[in-house]
Amino acid sequence: MTELRAIRGKKPKAMAEARILECECGCRTFVETRTGIAVDKKGKVIHAGTPMLVCTHCGKQQDT
């Protein structure tokens, strides 16, 4: 974040309430994974799973 600028657009309140996620190790890069995906006999997804964020540096999981 080298440059800060004013929030403009249709949803400035949502941007103002946003937060930057940071792991305990200091890394800000995460990959979204889903755990507990349920599939029926026909192959249709019944439950899409619980979204989790995994740190790319240390591998710790963090709830979204």
Query: pLDDT by residue (tens digit) across 15-62?
Result: 667 778 888 888 899 999 988 899 999 999 999 888 899 999 998 888
Instruction: Print the domain residue range for 46.
Output: 21-63
Specify if 8 maps to a domain. Answer: no
**Higher per-residue confidence, 5 vs 51:** 51
User: What's the structural domain count of the chain?
Assistant: 1
Stated as kind and residue range, the H or E segment containing 62 is strand 61-63
Residue 29 confidence (pLDDT): 92
For 12, half-sphere exposure in the C-beta direction (CA atoms, 13 angstrom radius) is: 5
pLDDT of residue 13: 66
Distance separating alpha carbons of residues 53 and 60, to the nearest angstrom? 8
Q: What was the pLDDT predicted at 31?
A: 93
9 in a structural domain: no
Strands across the sheet with 30-35, in order?
30-35, 50-55, 61-63
